[in-house]
């Protein structure tokens, strides 16, 4: 069989997803595998077993990233496929897991066909991509590319008060190995997590890049007092200040328009009582834009908003950056290759930017990278009802298979390096 005619086994891919989805399963169909928890350890153990069964050389690095490598005719830069298997607390079966398991399906397809590649193919599962338990998100891939010092990452404390390095050791994934020393190309297959592809009835999203992300934690300090006896003019109401900032974020992102988005995802009040003016509020603001200049403008508007509101409400504030990543453009040659490959498979395509952060944006710092999106039903993700149809999963995996082969079996100098 010619490599160009190879296709993945859709039923086998779905079965892989369902088996991993049973680890940390939630009632209603979702999954909870927060990074470095016992349930994620079980997911990691399952993944390592799957890699080993496929004959891959499995290594784990010091931040817990897992790599399974298929040998080639010669040593050289690896074609790396990957994503993550950690989830948010109420996650679905496909976010992250698809990219890793489709990578294994690519390997299984090549094994079945007896195809020997010119370059090694490696599949990666990066640590703490979601950032739900440890900040920042994409932490494992960020350490892998040298963007965050290992010791600094190991010393990060989780939302439940646990040190990352201790948790990594506790689950047995503080490794001593390493991933590929050189990467020819990186591909990440992912569900879109948005509505565009489904709404426009497009089969494959060709991702041009990832928009910039700015996460800020704001702590507001006022004074608790009686809700009935304290005049408005004498209050130092941290809750009201937080509400005004939240409303202000909504107002200025609408005014900026375009691709600018903003989200207040966390808001906690203390003492959190119905008849007491809040003494303290802690909130987060998530700003995103594919244009770095506009993202900086949004950050400036947030800073001005905080100054104005806290002055008027007579509360003090502190801010802390939780994550800050500039927009990332993927490799044009790989973007074109994804497009061309999908069309050759008779699949419709659309170029778009990712609104969510992904490990691919970190790998793009050191190697050519690209992403492939498949539709999400109703645009829903980070939700137990997250779903992508089996046919769409197969389409994305077949594109992944063929672009991988174009890199790992290069002809006429087609590889990107």
User: Is 382 marked within a binding site?
Assistant: yes
User: Which tokens sit at 66?
Assistant: 């897992």
User: Is 95 marked within a binding site?
Assistant: yes
**Does the pLDDT at position 315 exceed 60?**
yes
Taking Cα atoms as reference points, which of 220, 233, 340, 332 lies closest to residue 285? 220
Alpha carbon distance 367, 120 (integer Å): 15
Q: What pLDDT score does 415 carry?
A: 45
Q: What pLDDT score does 410 carry?
A: 72
Average pLDDT over every residue of 192-207: 98
* Three-state DSSP state, 15: helix
Tally the residues of the chain.
Answer: 417
Query: Is the pTM higher than 0.75?
Result: yes
Q: What is the DSSP letter of 118?
A: S
User: Is 226 marked within a binding site?
Assistant: no
User: Is 46 marked within a binding site?
Assistant: no
The model's confidence at residue 411, banded by pLDDT at 50, 70 and 90, is low
pLDDT in tens, 288-307: 999 999 999 999 999 999 99
**Does the pLDDT at position 123 exceed 50?**
yes
Average pLDDT over every residue of 198-222: 97
**Does the pLDDT at position 417 exceed 80?**
no
pLDDT in tens, 145-178: 999 999 999 999 999 999 999 999 999 999 999 9
pLDDT in tens, 323-345: 898 999 999 999 999 999 999 99
CATH architecture under which domain 212-325 falls: 2-Layer Sandwich (3.30)
pLDDT-above-90 percentage for the chain = 94
The domain segmentation of the chain, as residue ranges, is: 3-211+327-408, 212-325
Average pLDDT over every residue of 99-121: 97
Task: Spell out the SS3 assignment of 257-280.
Answer: CCCCEEECCCEEEECCCCCECCCE
The domain 3-211+327-408: what is its CATH number?
Answer: 3.40.630.10
Average pLDDT over every residue of 32-52: 98
**Does the pLDDT at position 137 exceed 80?**
yes
Q: What pLDDT score does 414 carry?
A: 45
pLDDT in tens, 358-396: 999 999 999 999 999 999 999 999 999 999 999 999 999
Yes or no: say if 47 and 131 are a contact pair by the CB < 8 Å rule.
Answer: no
* Three-state DSSP state, 247: helix
Alpha carbon distance 252, 255 (integer Å): 5
């Amino acid at each position: 069989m010619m490599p160009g005619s190879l296709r993945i086994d859709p039923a086998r891919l779905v079965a892989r997803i369902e088996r991993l989805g049973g680890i940390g399963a939630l009632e209603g169909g979702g999954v909870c595998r927060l990074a470095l928890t016992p349930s994620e350890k079980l997911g990691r153990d399952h993944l390592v077993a799957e890699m080993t069964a496929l004959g891959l050389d499995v290594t784990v690095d010091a931040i817990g990233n897992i790599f399974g490598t298929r040998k080639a005719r010669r040593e050289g830069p690896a074609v790396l496929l990957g994503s993550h298997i950690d989830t948010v607390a109420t996650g679905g079966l496909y976010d992250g897991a698809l990219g890793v398991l489709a990578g294994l399906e690519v390997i299984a397809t090549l094994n079945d066909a007896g195809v020997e590649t010119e370059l090694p193919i490696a599949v990666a599962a990066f640590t703490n991509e979601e950032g739900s338990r440890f900040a920042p998100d994409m932490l494992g891939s960020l350490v892998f590319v040298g963007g965050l010092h290992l010791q600094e990452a190991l010393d990060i404390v989780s939302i439940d008060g646990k040190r990352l390095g201790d948790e990594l050791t506790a689950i047995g994934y503080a490794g001593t190995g390493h991933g590929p020393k050189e990467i020819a190309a990186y591909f990440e297959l992912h569900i879109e997590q948005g509505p565009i592809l489904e709404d426009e009835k497009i089969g494959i999203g060709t991702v041009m890049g990832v928009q910039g992300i700015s996460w800020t934690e704001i702590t507001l300090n006022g004074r608790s007092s009686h809700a009935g006896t304290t005049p408005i003019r004498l209050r130092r109401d941290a809750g009201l200040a937080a509400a005004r900032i939240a409303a202000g974020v909504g107002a200025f992102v609408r005014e900026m328009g375009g691709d600018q988005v903003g989200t207040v995802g966390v808001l906690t009040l203390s003492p959190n009582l119905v008849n007491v003016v809040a003494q303290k509020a802690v909130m987060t603001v998530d700003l995103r834009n594919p244009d770095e200049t506009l993202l900086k403008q949004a950050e400036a508007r947030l800073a001005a908003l905080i100054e104005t509101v806290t002055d008027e409400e007579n509360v003090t504030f502190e801010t802390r950056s939780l994550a800050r990543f500039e927009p990332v453009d993927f490799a044009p040659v790989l973007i074109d290759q994804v497009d061309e490959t999908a069309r050759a498979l008779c699949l419709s395509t659309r170029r778009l930017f990712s609104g969510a952060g992904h490990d691919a944006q970190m790998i793009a710092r050191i190697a050519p990278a690209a992403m492939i999106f498949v539709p999400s039903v109703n645009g829903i993700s980070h939700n137990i009802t997250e779903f992508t149809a089996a046919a769409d999963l197969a389409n994305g995996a077949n594109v992944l298979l063929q672009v991988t082969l174009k890199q790992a079996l290069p002809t006429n100098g087609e590889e990107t390096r």
